[in-house]
Amino acid sequence: MDINKYKNDYMICTAVISIPAVLLTFTGILFANVVMLLFGAALLLLWWGVYYLLYTDRKLSIPISLILLFIFWLPVFIQTIRRVSFIYQNGGFERADGYGSPLLFLINFTMELLFFIPITMTLTRFVIYRFRK
Which burial class, exposed, middle or buried, applies to 14 when counting CB atoms under 10 A from its CB (0-12, 13-18, 19+)? buried
Q: Is the pLDDT of residue 10 over 70?
A: yes
| Residue among 37, 38, 46 at smallest CA distance from 17 | 46
Residues 13-40, mean pLDDT to the nearest whole number: 92
Q: Is the pLDDT of residue 1 over 70?
A: no
Domain extent at residue 15: 3-132
pTM of the model: 0.82
Q: How many domains does the chain have?
A: 1
Mean pLDDT for all residues in the chain:
90
Q: Residues 93, 83, 80, 112: is their CA dihedral positive or negative?
A: positive
Q: What is the pLDDT of residue 49?
A: 96
- Largest Cα separation within the chain, whole Å, is 55
